[in-house]
Amino acid sequence: MTDNPEEPLIANPQSTEGGQHDDNHDVEHAHESRGGKQHISPPGLFIWLLTFSAGISGLLFGYDTGVISATLVSIGTSLSHRPLTSLDKSVITSCTSLFALLVLPFASSLADDRGRKRVVLFADTLFIIGALCQAASRTVEVMVVGRSVVGVAIGAASFVTPLYIAELAPATHRGRLVTMNIVFITLGQVVAYVVGWIFGTYGSPETTGWRWMVGLGAVPAVVQVVILLWMPESPRWLVKEGRSEEAREVIARVAAGDDALDPSTRREVDAVLKNIEIEVREEAMATRLGGAGNGHGNGNGNAVNAWMEAMRDLFRVRRNKRALAIACLLQGLQQLCGFNSLMYFSATIFTMVGFSEPTLTSLVVAVTNFAFTLVALVLIDRVGRRRILLWSLPFMMAGLVLASYGFSFIELPDAQISSPTTTGGQGGAAIILASIMIYVAGYAIGLGNVPWMQSELFSLNVRSVGSGVATATNWSANFAVGLTFLPLMEALSPSWTFVLYAVICAVGYGLIWRVYPETAGLSLEDAATLLEADDWGVR
C-alpha cells in the first residue's frame, strides 16, 4: 500500500527537469510519487505465483543452455556412428539461436494479436516436441531438427515471458520480479549440469544417458501448461483489446490477491487502470495523426497490418527509436561478451585445460551464476539498472583478461579443439577456473538480467514489437557467437579469443555510460517518457 490513498499502486513519479536523472539519486527519485514518499510493501502471494508460473519458461531456457554442454561431451559416436566434429558441435548449438531469431517477428505479432499468455503456451508445446525429438535422434541431422524446434520455443518464450511479468508487476518490484525469470534461467543451468553429471557418471553415456538429459526438458513444459491455464492475461493487453473490466479484475488481484478490496486499494486499482487507458488512447490518437491507420487494437483487425503499423511507429517516433537503440545495445552486448559460449562449451573448455570431471567443474560455474543472480535479485530495484551495469562490467573485463592470461600456460596440441588433449599444468587450469568464476559473477549481477528489463523502455503501442526486435538482436548475436566460438579458439587461440570479448565489454561500458537512463521504480508509462530528453534521460 501507499501512504497516500489516492496514489496509484504502480508508482507514477514526476521526472526532473527535462527528464534528467543523477546517477547518485535516480533510484531514490524514482521511488517518490506525486503524493510524496512511497511506502513500499512486498509483492503479494498472487504476483509471486504469476512470476513462478511464467518463470518456468526461464527454467526451460536455462536447462537447454546448460544441458547441451554436457550432451556434447557425452554423445560420442551415437549420432551418425562417428565422433562429432567442431562443425557438428557448432551447428547443433547455434541452430537453436538461429531459429529463436527467425521466430521472433511471428511471436511478437502473435503476442499482440492473441495475448502474451498464449505465446507462452505455444512455446511449451514446442519445448515438448523438440525435447522428445532430440531424445529419439539417431543422426546429427535429426538432432539439429530437434534443437531447432526447441530454438523456436526459446525464441518465443525469451521475449514474451519478461514482457508478461513486467506488464503484471507493481512498478516498485518490477525489477525484482523480472529478475526472477533470470533466477529460473540460472537454476535451469544448475539442474542441467547436475543431470548431465549424474547420467554421465552413472548412466550409459553414449547410448541412453545423454538422451535422458535432453528428453527431461519436456517435463517443466508440461508443468507450465497446467499452471498457466489458471493464470490471467496481461492487463495492459486486455485494455488494448477493449476488455477493461477483465483488466480491472487482474489489477485488483495483483493489488490484493484473493482478499476483498478496501476503499483505498480500490482507488489505487482505478488509478492504475485509468493510467493504462489514457496511454492507450493517446497512442491510438498519435497513430491516427501520424497517418498509420486505424490504431493498434487488433482484436477485430488484421494482425499483420497492426504489426506493420507498430513497426512504423517504432522507427518513426524519436523516443521509440532511442528505446530500440538502447534495448538492442544491451541485448547484443549480453551475447557478444561471450557468456553463452562458456555455457554451451564449458565442458569442452574444461576438458581442454585438463579437468578430469569437466561437467562437474561446469557445475561450479553454473552455481556461481545462480548465486550471484540471487544477489542481483536483492540489488536490482535498490541500486538501479544503470548503476549495477556500470559496477559489474569491470569485473567481467578483469575475468576475461585473467582467463586470457591463464590460457597462456596451457599447451594445446595441433588437434581440433572439439576433441582436445592438453599438456598444460594445473596452475593455468586453476587460473582459468577462477577467472571464469569472476567473469560469471559480474555477468550474473548486471548484464545477465538488466537487458531483460527492455519492456520498461518502450511505450505500450510498440512494446511487443520493440521487445521482439531487441530479443532478435540477442539471438542474432547468440547465433554468431555460438557458431564462431570454437573456430575462433582454433584460429586466434583461446587467449586472444577472450581478449576480444574483453574489448567488446569495454566498448559496451562506454555506450551504456553515455545513453542508458535509470528506470528503477518508474511505472512503465513514465519510464518510456525519459527518452524524450535531449540527453536520453541521462545527466
- Using CA atoms in the order 333, 334, 336, 337, what is the torsion angle rounded to 10 degrees? 100
What's the CA gap between 406 and 387, in Å, rounded? 30
- The pLDDT averaged over each successive group of 10 residues in the chain (539 residues) is 38 37 44 42 71 84 82 80 83 86 83 86 92 91 93 87 81 77 87 84 70 89 88 86 86 69 76 81 66 45 69 86 93 91 73 73 85 89 89 95 85 51 61 90 92 85 85 86 82 88 95 89 74 74
| Spatial separation of the C-alpha atoms in residues 343 and 10, rounded to whole Å | 37
State the Cα–Cα distance between residues 160 and 107, nearest whole angstrom: 8
Cβ 485 vs Cβ 506: under 8 Å: no
**DSSP code for 33:** E
Pull the grid cell for residue 43. Answer: 509483492
The amino acid occupying position 398 is A
Cα separation of 371 and 394, whole Å? 19
Question: Which pLDDT value is given to residue 12?
Answer: 38
Are the CB atoms for 334 and 326 separated by under 8 Å?
Answer: no
For residues 287 and 261, is the Cβ–Cβ distance under 8 A? no
Distance CA 225, CA 228 (A): 5
What does the alpha-carbon distance between residue 179 and residue 376 come to, in Å, rounded to a whole number?
A: 7
The terminus-to-terminus CA distance of the chain in angstroms comes to 31
Is residue 376 a contact partner of residue 182, using CB atoms and an 8 Å limit?
A: yes
Beta bridge partners, 37, equal 32
Q: In 3-state terms, the chain is what percent helix, strand and coil (to 5)?
A: 75, 0, 25
Q: How many angstroms separate the CA atoms of 334 and 470, rounded? A: 11
The string of DSSP letters for 382-428 reads: HH-HHHHHHHHHHHHHHHHHHHHHHHTT----SS-TTS------HHH
Q: Distances in Å between the alpha carbon of 435 and those of 341, 344, 426, 431, 449? A: 15, 17, 14, 6, 21
Sorted by sequence, the CB contacts under 8 Å of residue 475 that are 6+ apart come out as 97, 98, 100, 101, 104, 155, 158, 335
Per the CB < 8 A criterion, the answer to whether 59 and 188 are in contact is yes
Q: Please work out, in degrees rounded to the nearest 5, the angle formed at the alpha carbon of residue 369 by the alpha carbons of 451 and 423.
A: 120
Residue pointed to by grid coordinates 570454437: 486
Q: And the C-alpha cell for 146?
A: 530437434
Radius of gyration of the chain (CA): 23
**Rounded to 5 degrees, what angle do the CA atoms 361, 363, 365 make?**
85
**Res 6: pLDDT:** 36
> Cα separation of 164 and 356, whole Å?
43
User: What pLDDT score does 76 carry?
Assistant: 78
In this prediction, residue 205 carries a pLDDT of 57
**pLDDT for 275:** 80
pLDDT of the residue at 77: 81
At a CB cut-off of 8 Å and minimum separation 6, what does 269 contact?
Answer: 9, 248, 251, 252, 255, 261
Q: What is the pLDDT of residue 397?
A: 96
pLDDT at 22: 46
In whole angstroms, what is the distance from residue 314 CA to residue 528 CA? 12
What pLDDT does residue 208 have?
73
In this prediction the pTM is 0.71
Amino acid (1-letter code) at residue 535: D
